[in-house]
Amino acid sequence: MEATLHGILLAFGLILPLGVQNIFIFTQGATQPNLFKALPATLTAALCDTLLILFAVFGLSVIVLQFAWLRLGLMIIGIIFLLYMGYSVWNSRPAKRESGKSLPPQKQIVFALSVSLLNPHAILDTVGVIGTSALRYAGLEQILFTATCIAVSWCWFFGLTIAGAFIKKLDGSGPILNIFNKFSAIFIWLTALLLLKSLFA
């Protein structure tokens, strides 16, 4: 029970703050014609988080992040993806059922991969917090802790997608979602600038 409650609190603590990944998943729920068409982004983000949590618990990410050149490469690629994604979100419009203006599945998957796996801060948070916390447990307790963190992640991303779709029903293709897209794009560009600044820190 302690491991399960710890996993719930820790996972929510990491995933709740506003971030590029959360904004992107919410935006897909709001801009896709229906929930089914937003699933590529949702499933990709959930699977990526599952992978990061498993790597964190088993310590594989710590080994990878020891290589400075690899971290630098991830940050550069991440900046490029964020700049392009910001441009796409800025120009996106809430899609009606008959329109084809929403992101296609391939782009959803690529963008979800980029905001999930090419964000050094997210990787460091997952490894530093979940990875070190998992060291407290062994055997069944560690399995419960890991499974709980993964379950919270999946529930959160599906919840964001549903929330985006709900907002779209209230607003249709009106001004609220268009304004949200603009603010989302600006936030994504600012995140890219912060990553760029950290390269020269």
Q: What's the mean pLDDT when you consider all of the chain? A: 76
- pLDDT digits 0-9 by tens, 9-20: 766 666 655 567
For 137, the 3-state DSSP assignment is: coil
Instruction: List pLDDT tens digits, range 133-145.
Output: 776 777 888 888 8
Sign of CA dihedral 195, 60, 126, 166: positive
Confidence of residue 47 (pLDDT cuts 50, 70, 90): very high
Two tokens at 21? 């990944």
Q: First vs last Cα of the chain: how many Å apart?
A: 42
- Is 166's pLDDT higher than 80? yes
For residue 99, pLDDT beyond 80 = no
Residues 194 and 149: their CA atoms lie apart, in Å, by 28
- pLDDT tens digits, one per residue of 100-111: 457 888 988 988
This prediction's pTM: 0.71
- Tell me the domain boundaries of the chain: 35-131+149-199
